[in-house]
Structure 1
Amino acid sequence: MGALLSMLRGGGSGSSSGGGQSGGLTRLSRDTYPPARFSKQFNEFICNLGDARNAEYVEANFPEGSMVVRAGSELLERVGGYQDGTSEVRAAITQRTPESEEAAWRKIGPSVSLLRECFELAQGVERIVPGILDELCSHGGDEGPGRTDRNRGLARLLADLMQNAFEFDALKASIPAIQNDFSYYRRTLARIANCQEAEIAQYSMPQDVSNQMSLFYAHHNPMVRTVVDSATRFARDSSNGPAVLDCLAALAAGSLSTIKRKRAGGAASEQTCVLVLVTCCVLYDWIAPQGICGAQSGIDAKAVLAVVGGRPVVGTTAADKVLRANCLTLR
């Protein structure tokens, strides 16, 4: 079955069967194991995730994915410098005059435009995720020379999208004004649209867009929810859907093995493996009927937490906190 399947069953890299070993740190699966085709597919995943050929594959085959990741990184910097309109909004509410309202609109207008850009980015992420999963799940038996670059490239792309999602949601949680500013904007949207000053009217948007944005920002983790909801729909509706959980479990196994055996090829590559592992765990937890903590889970949450729980994922926030904040069943 290959080295990865052996590891999934609890044996070492040179073992041909599960043997009697049942230690939690070497056993990523419990009662179900990813099919051999995924073990073979990700057997070489333990190699360097930072290899330039991985990025070249993504650029050539998923250019939209690369663009969304870059756009997400740029937006994160801008959201980090968010200019809130707390004072102006408070004044417009407590002492409403045409002047105080216009001052509030001028202040929050650029911020709301930024929030709309983030929402549109989320829509781009939503479109990309099914294609990544479909590509990963469609080539389980592929032994072509480019499979390693493809698998690493797609795994890293998925992890980069989730990294941006984690960071965006952390920023949103740290800036209460985002919700407050947008709430005031929605309440006064009709007056903004009818404002005679072009500088203010330019910040108007269709009502249906503001409604969708309101639903998006109502979540405590809106960008992560975008990723997991898109993945969940793919797993439910696609012909490749049934293979998604097996694929995620095998990716998680390859990542965990790489980290434990220190075979990532460098600190940056190892950190990417941590992120891939966390990403797989979050997606698996949302898609699997019983979650990552269920008896039939293909990923052992305790093993993951034991190995990477203290590793930073978002800034200084450790993997265990990120997992508990974004998983359904891991608390």
Structure 2
Amino acid sequence: CSFSFSAFFLFCLYLDMGNLLKVLTCTDLEQEPNFFLDFENAQPTDAEREVWEEVDVVLKDAAAILDELQAYKGAGREIREAIQNPSDEGLQDEAWAAVVPLVGRLKKFYEFSQRLEAALHRLLRALTSESYNDPMQHLEREQALAKQFAEILHFTLRFDELKMTNPAIQNDFSYYRRTLNRMRINNVPAEGENEVNNELANRISLFYADATPMLKTLSDGTTKFVSENKNLPIENTTDVLSTMASVCKVMLENPDYRCRFSSEETVSFCLRVMVGVIILYDYVHPVGAFSKSSKIDMKGCIKVLKDQPPNTVDGLLNALRYTTKHLNDESTNKTIKAMLQP
């Protein structure tokens, strides 16, 4: 017995207490998912097909939406000239003619956000149902649906990155609303008013007023899903989110998994998905993603982000810094706050 105690004592000298507890309890090993989620090639099974096809109709439009947003140049020149020369009717007409089609495009983006939220709800219903006891089983067996969920998150973060770097969007819409109100006061017929009426204009304005409008739509949508489905325990949703975050982290940090990606684009995709599910988890879980009781290894996830090449994940780190709900709570670990300092 004395020899065993001495050996154990020496063992303690080489292990800090945190690591020793991990060895004794194995909780970290139990929580770490050990399967590869095929974001590149997953195909729907017969059981997934109905939901997959519904969501696929929405996702087919996602790439075109991003292309249109990336190409969005705005009517800055026309608006400036109209404002500087308020008595020049020709310049006023030119600015209005330039803005109206752009507002139609902004309306299209907003309406797509509503379709995306509906698709998210459809996927959450499938992935959080009680047919399996373990969220890992859902993600492993329903990989095509998990891939679609990931594609929604990837699109969302990419959309918001593009929107944040394009101030013309809010400038154009603000000018449109001011001009429309002035036309109404002067009883001037306004081409395009029927397309974007006042009620819709209010909703669109609120949408673009947010720094990350698409992420807010999904965060609010996930919260709404949880509140409307009281028959499902909240853990059904949060466990799926935390498991997907863990799957992404493991695939990114494990060379055996990462080498199965066919391109670096999949690495970027996986990073965005990891950050996206962390943010959703932080909004839905009562105490968020940064608390001690969180099922997400936040230190590990942040480390994975910081291990990427310089300047490639600044937008994702900023998303964790500025769009999460609980980062600045007093209960958040100081080490995590320090890791996310700009």
Residue equivalent to 1:246: 239
Greater displacement, 259-268 / 125-134? 259-268
CA–CA distance in structure 1, aligned partners of residues 19 and 307 of structure 2 = 30
Report SS of the residue matched to 1:96: coil
How far is the alpha carbon of 1:50 from its aligned partner? 2.0
How far is the alpha carbon of 1:113 from its aligned partner? 0.8
Residue equivalent to 1:96: 86
Instruction: Tell whether 2:41 aligns with 1:51.
Output: yes
Instruction: Tell whether 2:159 aligns with 1:168.
Output: yes
How far is the alpha carbon of 1:236 from its aligned partner? 2.3
On the 8 A contact 2:160/2:214 being kept in 1, the answer is: yes
Residue equivalent to 2:52: 62
Identical columns (%): 26
- Residue 212 of structure 2, aligned match among 199, 206, 221: 221
How far is the alpha carbon of 1:190 from its aligned partner? 4.6
- Residue 61 of structure 2, aligned match among 63, 71, 86: 71
Once the two structures are superposed, what CA deviation does each residue of 1:236-292 show, in whole Å capped at 9, x if it has no partner? 221225121122122222332333333252244555443332222111111112211
Closer, same or farther: CA 318–116 of 1 in aligned 2, 3 Å: closer
TM-score computed with the length of structure 1 as normaliser: 0.77
Instruction: Tell whether 2:104 aligns with 1:113.
Output: yes
CA–CA distance in structure 2, aligned partners of residues 136 and 272 of structure 1 = 20
Closer, same or farther: CA 271–56 of 1 in aligned 2, 3 Å: farther
On the 8 A contact 1:54/1:150 being kept in 2, the answer is: no
Alignment of 1:1-331 (within 5 A): 20=20, 22=22, 44=35, 46-54=36-44, 60-97=50-87, 98-139=89-130, 141=132, 151-190=142-181, 200-201=191-192, 204-238=195-229, 239-242=231-234, 243-262=236-255, 263-264=257-258, 265-268=260-263, 269-311=266-308, 317=314, 319-330=316-327
Aligned length: 297
Residue equivalent to 1:7: none
How far is the alpha carbon of 1:94 from its aligned partner? 2.8
How far is the alpha carbon of 1:201 from its aligned partner? 4.0
Closer, same or farther: CA 27–182 of 1 in aligned 2, 3 Å: farther
Unpaired runs of 5+ residues, structure 2, are 1-17, 328-339
CA–CA distance in structure 2, aligned partners of residues 281 and 148 of structure 1 = 16
**Max Rg structure:** 2
On the 8 A contact 1:28/1:300 being kept in 2, the answer is: no
Alignment RMSD (CA, Å): 3.4
Residue equivalent to 1:6: none
Report SS of the residue matched to 1:53: coil
Closer, same or farther: CA 22–227 of 1 in aligned 2, 3 Å: same
CA–CA distance in structure 2, aligned partners of residues 229 and 237 of structure 1 = 12
CA–CA distance in structure 2, aligned partners of residues 305 and 326 of structure 1 = 15
CA–CA distance in structure 1, aligned partners of residues 226 and 272 of structure 2 = 21
CA–CA distance in structure 2, aligned partners of residues 246 and 187 of structure 1 = 46
How far is the alpha carbon of 1:60 from its aligned partner? 4.4
CA–CA distance in structure 2, aligned partners of residues 306 and 218 of structure 1 = 32
